[in-house]
C-alpha cells in the first residue's frame, strides 16, 4: 500500500500511518472474478513474491502470507499487512544446517533441490518459503473452480510452480512471474 502520511513521535508511543484504502480479498469474491481478473491477480501475487525475494534489504520472508494480508486498490493486488516480515534467512555453518531438521520449517522449503549454506545463511530459503505459502494460502483459492478447457493445463503448470516440486529445483519467483505474465497475455490475446 502507498503510505500517504505518518507520525512517528520522538518518545515511546504509537506510530500512526495513513495509507491508501483497499478492498479486502474475499474467497467468494475471488471465485466470482472472471478468469482474466484472476490471472491479473496471479501476476500481482507473483510481483509481490518477486519484490520480497529481491528487495533492497535482501530476501524477505513473510511468516503469514495469506489472503487476509492483501487488498485490492483499483483492481491491483497490494500487500497490506507487513508486521511479520523476517529480513534474514536462517543462519548456517554447513550445508547440513539447511535441512528441515535444522530449520523450523513446516513448509519443508528444502524439498526438491537442497538449499546451500552460502556466507552463513541458507540461501534461497525465504524465496521458497514465500512461494510455498502463497501456493497454499492464495493460489489454490485463486485458481479454484471450473476453468475454460484450454486454460486447464496452463493453470496446472502454474499451480505446480507454487508447489515447490520442480525438477531439478523448484522454480523461483522470476520463473513464476514470467509464467504468470505469459499466461495472462495468451489468455487476453485469445491464444488459449
Residues belonging to the active site: 64
CB 55 within 8 A of CB 127: no
Q: What does the alpha-carbon distance between residue 15 and residue 180 come to, in Å, rounded to a whole number?
A: 37
Query: Vertex 154, ends 63 and 114: CA angle to 5°?
Result: 45
What is the DSSP track for 21-72? --EEP-HHHHHHS-HHHHHHHHHHHHHHHHHHHTBTTB--EES--SGGGEEE
Q: What does the alpha-carbon distance between residue 183 and residue 165 come to, in Å, rounded to a whole number?
A: 20
CB 17 within 8 A of CB 131: no
CA 47 to chain CA mean position, Å: 8
Amino acid at each position: 500500500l502507498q503510505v500517504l502520511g505518518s507520525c512517528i513521535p520522538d518518545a515511546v508511543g504509537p506510530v500512526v500511518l495513513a495509507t491508501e484504502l483497499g478492498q479486502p480479498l474475499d474467497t467468494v469474491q475471488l471465485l466470482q472474478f472472471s478468469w482474466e481478473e484472476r490471472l491479473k491477480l496471479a501476476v500481482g501475487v507473483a510481483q509481490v513474491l518477486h519484490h520480497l525475494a529481491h528487495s533492497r534489504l535482501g530476501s524477505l520472508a513473510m511468516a503469514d502470507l495469506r489472503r487476509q494480508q492483501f487488498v485490492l486498490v483499483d483492481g491491483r493486488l497490494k500487500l497490506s499487512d507487513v508486521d511479520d516480515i523476517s529480513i534474514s534467512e536462517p543462519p548456517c555453518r554447513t550445508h547440513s544446517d539447511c535441512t528441515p531438521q535444522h530449520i523450523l520449517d513446516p513448509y519443508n522449503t528444502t524439498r526438491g533441490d537442497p538449499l546451500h549454506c552460502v556466507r552463513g545463511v541458507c540461501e534461497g530459503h525465504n524465496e521458497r518459503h514465500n512461494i510455498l505459502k502463497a501456493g497454499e494460502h492464495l493460489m489454490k483459492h485463486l485458481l479454484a473452480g471450473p476453468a475454460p478447457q484450454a486454460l486447464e493445463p496452463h493453470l496446472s503448470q502454474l499451480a505446480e510452480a507454487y508447489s515447490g516440486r520442480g525438477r531439478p529445483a523448484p522454480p523461483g519467483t522470476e520463473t513464476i512471474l514470467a509464467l504468470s505474465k505469459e499466461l495472462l497475455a495468451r489468455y487476453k490475446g485469445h491464444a488459449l
